Amino acid sequence: MKAMGQAGMAEVKPILEINGDHSLVKKIADSDDEAFIADMSGVLLDQALLVEGSEISDPADFVKKLNRLLEK
């Protein structure tokens, strides 16, 4: 719409849908490890953004989180 000269259009924010039955989501729900929960949640959100075609805000942080998860 912006390309057609339509100014003042509100930006549509994406909606993240979570499959509560997915094994990774269940691991988050079953964990008491706050660092693991934060890393896994952040990686899942960044993955969703990448799949959508968006850029993630901090690629280096994404890699650090992913590496920590892979080391477990």
- In which band, very low, low, confident or very high, does the pLDDT at 4 lie, cut at 50, 70 and 90? low
Q: Average pLDDT, stretch 23-52? A: 95
State the architecture of 16-71 in CATH terms: Up-down Bundle (1.20)
Residue 65 has pLDDT above 80, yes or no: yes
Residue 11 has pLDDT above 80, yes or no: no
Residue 72 has pLDDT above 60, yes or no: yes
| Mean of the per-residue pLDDT values of the chain | 89
What sign for the dihedral angle of Cα 58, 51, 16, 43?
negative
